[in-house]
Amino acid sequence: MSTQQITFTVEGMTCGGCVKSVTNVLSRLSGVSDVAVDLANKRASFQIADGGVSVQDAKNAIEDAGFLAR
Ligand SMILES: [Cu+2]
């Protein structure tokens, strides 16, 4: 199965709780795996398997949780 490697810059994370929130919202999405969120580098990286959510949906999920993704 082929997967797409995604990296977002995430603005607005200030603590470990924020990291956990972003990790959780991404992990819940269909087809998403290997979620790694880095507070210091403001980065969220993960994989999306074929047939999983779109990159835009993943971005929206982060923004719905109160952060800015780009
Ligand atoms: Cu926080």
Instruction: Please tell me the distance between residue 49's alpha carbon and the centre of ligand 1 in angstroms.
Output: 28
Report the pLDDT value the prediction gives residue 33, as an integer from 0 to 100: 98
Residues of the chain with pLDDT under 50: none
Strand partners, 45: 7, 36
For the chain, list the domains and their CATH numbers: 3-69 (3.30.70.100)
Instruction: Please tell me the distance between residue 27's alpha carbon and the centre of ligand 1 in angstroms.
Output: 18
Residue 36, both tokens: 């790694």
Report the pLDDT value the prediction gives residue 38, as an integer from 0 to 100: 98
Instruction: Please tell me the distance between residue 19's alpha carbon and the centre of ligand 1 in angstroms.
Output: 7
DSSP run (H or E) holding 44: strand 43-49
Provide the phi-psi class of 11: left if phi over 0, else alpha when psi is between -120 and 50, else beta: beta
Q: Using alpha carbons only, how large is the chain's radius of gyration in Å? A: 11
The neighbour count for residue 28, using CB atoms within 10 Å, is: 11
Instruction: Please tell me the distance between residue 66's alpha carbon and the centre of ligand 1 in angstroms.
Output: 11
Instruction: Please tell me the distance between residue 51's alpha carbon and the centre of ligand 1 in angstroms.
Output: 31
Report the pLDDT value the prediction gives residue 5, as an integer from 0 to 100: 98
